[in-house]
Structure 1
Amino acid sequence: MTPKKIAAFAIGPISGALLGLISLPTITWFFSQEDVGRMAMLQVTIGFSTLLFSLGLDQAYVREFHEVTDKPSLLKRALLPGLILLTTTLLVLLMFGGTLANWLFEIPEWHLSLLASTALLAAFLSRFLSLVLRMNEQGLAYSMSQLLPKLLLLAVIGTYVVIGAEKSLTNLVIANAAALAFVCIVFAYNTRREWLASMTASLDFQHLKHMLRFGLPLILGGIAFWGLTAIDKMFLRTLASFEELGLYSVAVSFAAAATILQSVFSTIWAPTVYKWASKGEGLENVHKVSRYILALVVLAFCLAGLLSWVVTFVLPPKYDAVRWIVVSCLGFPLLYTLSETTVVGIGISKRTGFAMLAAISGFAINLVGNWLLIPHFGAAGAAVSTCISFWVFFVLRTEFSIYLWKSMPRLLLYSFTLVCVSGAAVFTLWGDSLKGLMAAYWVLLLCASGFAFKDEVRDLFAFLKNFKFDDVRHGS
């Protein structure tokens, strides 16, 4: 992938994360902590429905894309089964009035159920349409489709503030549902050739069965991964309160700045590594890439530990604990990104059951961790439990990939990530009373990583020194 295409794919995640850091303080200042927590439940449900109803066919689409010639037909086979199931399920739920809203928000209002259904359907469609742009390497269109909903959400929230609109849950759900619907429309416009062609394409049931054999094991794994990332919020709602859930969701949102790395890398990495596999070349670069990502992961943990106090300047006083919680919340995006570099053997071998086993194991650990920690530490306990479970998830994905494919050096991978996760856990639970010691810890770790990754740092400086912006403009 050329520098020009990489830059195009990077615009969306980077700009989206920056806009998120602007809109988030606005929401916390003008909406109640309970409603912020309720919105977290909507996000959890969106993630669950997208994973469940995709039937693993989104992953099958990515895996098969470079191996088939009829791309519109492939899209139809991937999208149609889940779309029918999701639409039917939502229609049935809406027949029961405010049941869906009661499950999500403990407010049984039919209009909230309708808004939530709109958000769920739009998010599902956007998932598949975004894959079309991603696999066709249409980076700018992909980035704009990610950026525009954040702009719309910010515009709607800003309008509420200017006109003095009621700071209600309904208005907050409207803003989020409108943003998701808008991005779906933009995706549909940008991929109109593919999905219009897919409407008249034949539906090859034999190939669909082949895709389902690849994707169905991912349903269980997908649910387990959803649990790995969302069970903390479910436990907070059950064992704590919507206020604690709101505090935690704000910390997670700040940590989502790390999804810049996750989004950019995952968008570029999956198509690239599968293209290498289809041609039988380039796979020797996997270890080199993992070292670069590891260096970035350690750097992100250290900087977050040293600079987390900055968030207190943009949040109301009741969110002061976010400064300690946010570091452990980095575990999900950072360790997941790192695992994407080491898990390629599972994808190449098509042994997706091992991916499911890693997710289930991490989910089980997160269940136990949340059950033990949340009653004593609240949102901080949820953050630590999720961070630890993602470290286990990363280790298992790496070991399974090595078992199925080929060996790779991993002492540096495991040791540095373990030190980061351990430091993050102590920082989150007891950082308020260990401020000086924790600052020294992060500084020492930063220095140690600088020495361990001196070759990567040298390569980076050499690249920046020789980089020419003309290369980006011309895609050379």
Structure 2
Amino acid sequence: MTPKQIAVFAIGPVGGALLGLISLPVITWFFSQEDVGRMAMLQVTVGFGILLFSLGLDQAYVREFHEAENKPALLKSAMLPGLVMLVIMLLVLLAFGGALSDMLFDVANWHLSVLVAFALVANYISRFLSLVLRMNERGLAFSMSQLLPKLLLLVIIGGYVAIDAEKNLTNLVLANTAAIGLVCAIYGWNTRVEWVAGIRTRLDIEKLKSMLRFGLPLILGGLAFWGLTAIDKLFLRSLANFEELAVYSVSVSFAAAATILQSVFSTVWAPTVYKWASVGKGLENVHKVTRYILALVVLGFALAGLLSWVVIYFLPSNYAGVQWVVVSCIGFPLLYTLSETTVVGIGISRRSSFSMLAALIAFVVSLIGNWWLIPPYGAGGAAVSTCVSFWVFFFLRTEFSIYLWKPIPRTLLYVFTLVCVAGAVVFTLWGEVLRGWMMGYWLAVLAVWGVVFRSESREALGFLVRKVKREA
């Protein structure tokens, strides 16, 4: 994949993260805090629907794509079983009236259940059709399909404001469902040749069995990682209330700025490192890249700690707690990105079971942490639990990679990340009391960062200066 192609594919994740950073804070001004919290449950459910009902066949589709002679038939084999199961399950739930919406929103309404069911089906279909674009390297269509739903959501919310529509749960669910439906329609139009041809093909049962043998074992690891990123919201739903869930969701949306680094790096890094491995050259650069990402991670934590107070100017007064919670929330994207640089040994050795084990152990840590911390600390407890869990995830991926491949320098990695995570934990739980001390703490971290990473800073600055001069 060329740098231009990589850039085109990165437009979607980066633009989506930026629009997500805007959309949820905007929604907080027009909808109740409880309803904003309820929307988090919709997002959790939509993600779980893809993970569970895809049966791992989305990964099998990617694995088999380049070797398959009849790619539309491959799409049908991958997509159809889970879609049938999902539709049957939803029809059963809808037969009980508002049971589905009651489970998610604590509001028993049949029309809300229908909207949720539509969102689940549309999002499932979108997942597979997006893979068609991705595997055919149609980067612009892939990226635009990710951006347009976020834009539509903002347009619909703006329309509600313009016509003074009622700001209730039904309209908020409708806006989100319409956005999901739009992306499905766009994917459907852009991939119409493939799925229409797939409908006309016969289902290859033997091929399906082969794909299931590959895909089903991946569900366990996927469930563990989903749990690691979603269990905090489920615990908040059951152990706290929707108001705390809203504070946490808005904090996560601000922390999504850090997912830009994650999205861009993940797009570029995996193809590059496996290309190095295939030719046996360039792997010495892994350590250098790890230091650069570590520098960005530490800088991200320090700046978040120093500047988190800015977010209160973009939110209603009942979201004041976001300024403390957001610092721990950035732990997920930052530590996950760092772990992508240290986990290369697992990928090179093709021992993916170790990645699954790391996710399972971190998930257990998250379960214990959420159960322990949410009752006394609410959204702050959920953020701290997730942040600590992702440090455990990063630590285990690093150690497993070393065990399977070769040693890497890691003292600096562990010291700096522990300092940042410990600071984030204290900041989130007791930052309001220790406000002045915490500002001093993050300034000290920033000062040490300037000394330790001075060579990386000079190199990065020199690169930017040279690039500006060339373009001038």
The structural deviation recorded for 1:146 is 1.4
The structural deviation recorded for 1:336 is 1.7
Would you say the 8 A contact 1:311–1:322 is kept in 2? yes
The structural deviation recorded for 1:68 is 5.4
2:236 is the alignment partner of 1:259: no
The structural deviation recorded for 1:182 is 0.8
The structural deviation recorded for 1:241 is 1.1
CA distance in 1, matches of 2:275, 2:83: 28
Residue by residue, what CA displacement relative to the aligned partner does 1:244-296 show, whole Å, maximum 9, x if unpaired? Answer: 11111111111112121222223343455455556666555444333332222
Q: 1:158 to 1:131 in 2, by over 3 A?
A: same
The structural deviation recorded for 1:435 is 1.7
SS in 2 for 1:97: coil
Letter of the 2:128 counterpart: F
CA distance in 2, matches of 1:462, 1:198: 52
1:11-90 matched pairs, under 5 angstroms: 11-65=11-65, 71-90=71-90
Residue by residue, what CA displacement relative to the aligned partner does 1:292-321 show, whole Å, maximum 9, x if unpaired? Answer: 322222221111111111111011111101
CA distance in 2, matches of 1:21, 1:93: 33
The structural deviation recorded for 1:106 is 1.3
Letter of the 2:414 counterpart: Y
Letter of the 1:412 counterpart: L
2:304 is the alignment partner of 1:340: no
CA distance in 2, matches of 1:395, 1:67: 36
Structure 1, 209-218 or 141-150: larger mean CA deviation: 209-218
CA distance in 2, matches of 1:293, 1:159: 41
2:219 is the alignment partner of 1:212: no
CA distance in 1, matches of 2:79, 2:286: 31
Structure 1, 228-237 or 168-177: larger mean CA deviation: 228-237
1:88-107 matched pairs, under 5 angstroms: 88-107=88-107
Unaligned runs of 5+ in 2: none
Letter of the 1:364 counterpart: V
Residue by residue, what CA displacement relative to the aligned partner does 1:185-241 show, whole Å, maximum 9, x if unpaired? Answer: 222223334434444556555554444333322212222222211111111122111
Letter of the 2:329 counterpart: C
CA distance in 2, matches of 1:74, 1:346: 28
2:381 corresponds in structure 1 to: 381
Would you say the 8 A contact 1:152–1:179 is kept in 2? yes
Would you say the 8 A contact 2:146–2:183 is kept in 1? yes
2:415 is the alignment partner of 1:415: yes
CA distance in 1, matches of 2:194, 2:275: 21
Letter of the 1:106 counterpart: D
1:158-173 matched pairs, under 5 angstroms: 158-173=158-173
2:139 corresponds in structure 1 to: 139
2:431 corresponds in structure 1 to: 431
CA distance in 2, matches of 1:341, 1:16: 23
2:324 is the alignment partner of 1:324: yes
2:225 is the alignment partner of 1:238: no
Would you say the 8 A contact 1:217–1:356 is kept in 2? no
Residue by residue, what CA displacement relative to the aligned partner does 1:148-198 show, whole Å, maximum 9, x if unpaired? Answer: 111100000011111111111000000001111111222222333443444
CA distance in 1, matches of 2:82, 2:241: 33
Q: 1:395 to 1:78 in 2, by over 3 A?
A: farther
Q: 1:264 to 1:128 in 2, by over 3 A?
A: farther
Q: 1:366 to 1:300 in 2, by over 3 A?
A: same
The structural deviation recorded for 1:372 is 1.2
Letter of the 1:155 counterpart: V
Unaligned runs of 5+ in 1: 472-476
Structure 1, 331-340 or 402-411: larger mean CA deviation: 402-411
1:315 corresponds in structure 2 to: 315
Letter of the 1:292 counterpart: Y
1:474 corresponds in structure 2 to: none
Q: 1:2 to 1:88 in 2, by over 3 A?
A: same
Residue by residue, what CA displacement relative to the aligned partner does 1:2-37 show, whole Å, maximum 9, x if unpaired? Answer: 332233233233333332233223211111111111
1:386-401 matched pairs, under 5 angstroms: 386-401=386-401
Structure 1, 191-200 or 100-109: larger mean CA deviation: 191-200
Letter of the 2:79 counterpart: L
- TM-score, normalization: structure 1? 0.91
Q: 1:79 to 1:262 in 2, by over 3 A?
A: farther
Structure 1, 248-257 or 3-12: larger mean CA deviation: 3-12
- TM-score, normalization: structure 2? 0.92
2:305 is the alignment partner of 1:294: no
SS in 1 for 2:407: coil
Residue by residue, what CA displacement relative to the aligned partner does 1:327-383 show, whole Å, maximum 9, x if unpaired? Answer: 101111221222223333334444333222211111111111111111111111111
Would you say the 8 A contact 1:214–1:350 is kept in 2? no
CA distance in 2, matches of 1:233, 1:194: 37
Where relative contact order (Cα < 8 A, 6+ residues apart) is larger, the structure is: 1
2:446 is the alignment partner of 1:446: yes
Q: 1:273 to 1:108 in 2, by over 3 A?
A: farther
CA distance in 2, matches of 1:452, 1:64: 45
Letter of the 1:415 counterpart: V
2:10 is the alignment partner of 1:10: yes
Q: 1:134 to 1:413 in 2, by over 3 A?
A: farther
Residue by residue, what CA displacement relative to the aligned partner does 1:23-82 show, whole Å, maximum 9, x if unpaired? Answer: 223211111111111111111111111111122233334445556565444434433332
The structural deviation recorded for 1:415 is 1.9
CA distance in 2, matches of 1:92, 1:469: 64
CA distance in 2, matches of 1:269, 1:192: 31
Q: 1:303 to 1:61 in 2, by over 3 A?
A: farther
Letter of the 1:111 counterpart: H
Would you say the 8 A contact 1:218–1:353 is kept in 2? no
Q: 1:279 to 1:427 in 2, by over 3 A?
A: same
Would you say the 8 A contact 2:324–2:432 is kept in 1? yes
CA distance in 2, matches of 1:282, 1:85: 46
Percent of aligned pairs with the same residue? 70
Would you say the 8 A contact 2:118–2:177 is kept in 1? yes
